[in-house]
Amino acid sequence: MFENKERTAISELGEFGLIKHLTNSFKIQHESSIKGIGDDAAVLDFTGKQTLISTDLLLEGIHFDLAYVPLMHLGYKAVQVNLSDIYAMNGIATQITVSIGLSSKFPLEAVEEIYKGIELACNKFNIDLIGGDTSSSKQGLVISVTSVGFADAADVCYRNGAEEGDLICVSGDLGGAYVGLQILEREKQIFLENPQLQPDLEGKDYIIERQLKPEGRRDIVDLLSQMKIKPTSMIDVSDGLASEILHICTQSDKGCTLYEEKIPIDPMTYDTARELGLDPTVCALNGGEDYELLFTIKQADYSKLKNDVDISIIGHITDKNAGCNMISKSNVSHELKAQGWNAFKG
């Protein structure tokens, strides 16, 4: 990926030189960032608000494959998936820290690419980079992002607030990131067997983007606030719809009914899944990495969002004893099971 480009050994800069080089162009934008990079700890002040904090750890070979993930996209995605967790609490994300572990195979130019992606995400979503840590690693690339945000106590949405009769809503569309990954995996295999062949990603831009360049749904948090809707529960879709709705139901001590025909699936996701011999609904239920927001609302709020094209109502919350089920297009009830992506499965 970076073999043929210029290579500057990181040792030429040293740790402090590297941090300075990578973070120089980042600007502090929030008043709440009292102190960013440069001291032993950052200092934040969210006067009168509750503070939200979330961390993700990304390991090469476990969470990403550099054979098809460009480094800039990796930096961008590492930030986005983290911001998504703050948005899923109905909060405003304001700061991140970024920690990286680098093996000797990474030249400065590679790390610069990662930070370009990080900076792009920070600028687009108005986020201050306020610190991190840098280390060498024995093998591979490690990136950990911690995101910080805030919300009024009354606005924070937990997973455990869903009530019987609440409507289950999801933003955007589902399954695309997973089907995009299948295409990237397929092209990688073809490339490994025949390196002369160029990848054939023609016409698959949307789902490839869903995989490589996901975006946290800050716009949905803003929209809900404008509509004066406070979800009764909310979660972001990182592991697949089935896994996420089960988290809401378990933590809220409720059951649910989803309707297969209501699950939003983009035509490109649908057609490509079919081409690959996959069931599009299964991709939406179990695929993951869509980073859409899944939330429940009171029925009284239905009229406020029923005409929004970016939000689908896909079911409702039931009594716990009814279990968690999906009614198929052929009107058969299936019990929902979580088969979401799991970094520990073999």
Residues annotated as binding site for substrate? 63, 289, 341
Annotated binding site: 40, 54-56, 63, 85, 115, 132-133, 159, 236, 238-239, 289, 341
Residue 146's Cα: distance from chain center in Å? Answer: 13
User: What does 161 bind: ligand ADP, Mg ion, none (CB cut-off 5 to 8 Å by kind)?
Assistant: none
Closer to ligand ADP by Cβ: residue 22 or 168: 22
Determine which residue in the list 3, 6, 40, 335 makes contact with ligand ADP, applying CB under 6 A.
Answer: 40
Name the one range near Mg ion by CB under 5 A: 26-34, 96-104, 130-138, 157-165.
130-138
Report the alpha-carbon distance of residue 225 to residue 293 in Å, rounded.
14
**Binding-site residues for Mg(2+), please?**
40, 54-56, 85, 133, 236, 239
- What minimum distance in Å lies between the beta carbon of 24 and Mg ion? 18
Q: Give me the residue whose beta carbon is nearest to Mg ion.
A: 133
Which partner, ligand ADP, Mg ion, none, binds residue 250 by CB below 5 to 8 Å per kind?
Answer: none
Answer for which of 15, 31, 109, 133 binds Mg ion (CB under 5 A) is: 133
Rg of the chain over all Cα atoms, to the nearest angstrom: 21
Tokens (6 digits) for 277: 């011999």
Distance from C-alpha of 98 to C-alpha of 55, rounded to nearest angstrom: 10
Binding residues for ATP: 115, 132-133, 159, 238
- Judging by beta carbons within 10 Å of its beta carbon (0-12, 13-18, 19+), is residue 267 exposed, middle or buried? exposed
* Nearest distance, CB of residue 324 and Mg ion, angstroms: 44
Q: Which of 98, 127, 311, 338 binds ligand ADP (CB under 6 A)?
A: 98
Residue 56 near residue 78, CB atoms below 8 Å = yes
Q: Could you write out the three-class secondary structure of 100-160?
A: EEECCCCCHHHHHHHHHHHHHHHHHHCCEEEEEEEEECCCCCEEEEEEEEEECHHHCCCCC
Binding status of residue 100 toward ligand ADP by CB under 6 A: yes
Q: Least distance in Å: CB of 89 to ligand ADP? A: 24
Bridge-partner residues for 135, per DSSP?
A: 101
Distance between CA atoms of 253 and 327, rounded to whole angstroms?
21
x/- mask, ligand ADP, residues 111-140, rule CB under 6 A, reads ------------------x-xxxx------
Q: How far is CA 27 from the centre of its chain?
A: 24
Nearest to 34 by CA among 122, 115, 130, 144: 130
Question: Which stretches of the chain bind Mg ion, using CB under 5 A?
Answer: 133
Question: Which stretches of the chain bind ligand ADP, using CB under 6 A?
Answer: 19, 23, 37-40, 98-100, 129, 131-134
